[in-house]
A and B are shown apart, each in its own frame.
Chain A
Amino acid sequence: GAVVSQHPSWVICKSGTSVKIECRSLDFQATTMFWYRQFPKQSLMLMATSNEGSKATYEQGVEKDKFLINHASLTLSTLTVTSAHPEDSSFYICSATEDFYQPQHFGDGTRLSIL
């Protein structure tokens, strides 16, 4: 149980393109979803926290107009990297949790490469 699916797993696109990443909880309702960014051989850095039906809360230094988060249902959150540039290339991982007391369940990540 507690499966989180992230799609796509790998994206390569040209600079200036907007890219949407989906995060779905397959067998539970996720009240909260988290989006992380991970550079090679480094740790995960939290980008934003989102609750269904509410605006996402972004961490300091993360541009909300650059990284658009939509959490329209209890099973789906999307992260859109707008007008992506090479410096946005990274591994993006989402996680979801059913309630305050449950561990976060992670998706398999999306490797984004901007040419």
Chain B
Amino acid sequence: SQQGEEDPQALSIQEGENATMNCSYKTSINNLQWYRQNSGRGLVHLILIRSNEREKHSGRLRVTLDTSKKSSSLLITASRAADTASYFCATDGRISNFGNEKLTFGTGTRLTIIP
């Protein structure tokens, strides 16, 4: 399977603390993306990091990428109750017949922020 692994599978922290999630993948990539999914809903794109980048910030989010270890991490600082969701990393590297990059999603981390 090409599917990546995320670690931890579940994480519960107090509001205000930082949350760190890790993602490992198996194949070479062009980009790695992080998505959030609220329960029973679709995915919301959070951030994209390219293979030649090592770190990227967006608001309270910080993503790192280590292509030598085929791993990435997502840090959410000063967590809020509204951050409670599942977080998935997604890698490209597989090309569809139409030329689009096909995404392979990790197994996800279920994050619970305790008010």
Contact = CB atoms under 8 A, between A and B. Distances in A.
A104 B96 contact: no
Contacts of A68: none
Given A103-B33, A109-B42, A97 B98 contact: no
B78 interface: no
Interface residues of B, number: 25
Q: Which of B42, B44, B88 has the most CB of A within 10 A?
A: B42
Interface in A26-55: 31-32, 34, 41-46, 49, 51, 54
A49 B94 CA distance: 12
B85 interface: no
Contacts of B44: 106
B42 A49 contact: no
B105 A44 contact: yes
A67 B68 CA distance: 38
**Interface residues on chain A, size class:** 20 to 34
Given A103-B45, A105-B45, A46 B103 contact: yes
Interface string B73-103: 0000000000000001000000011111111
A39 B91 CA distance: 20
A45 B42 CA distance: 13
Contact of B98 (A32, A43, A91): A32
Given A43-B107, A104-B45, 18 more contacts: A4-B42, A32-B96, A34-B102, A34-B103, A42-B107, A42-B108, A43-B105, A46-B103, A49-B100, A91-B40, A100-B101, A103-B45, A106-B35, A108-B42, A109-B40, A109-B41, A109-B42, A111-B40
Interface of B: 3, 33, 35, 40-45, 48, 88, 96-108, 110
17 contacts: A32-B100, A43-B88, A43-B107, A44-B105, A45-B105, A46-B102, A46-B103, A49-B96, A49-B97, A49-B98, A54-B98, A97-B100, A103-B33, A104-B45, A106-B35, A106-B42, A106-B44
Interface of A: 4, 6, 31-32, 34, 41-46, 49, 51, 54, 57, 91, 93, 95, 97, 100, 103-109, 111
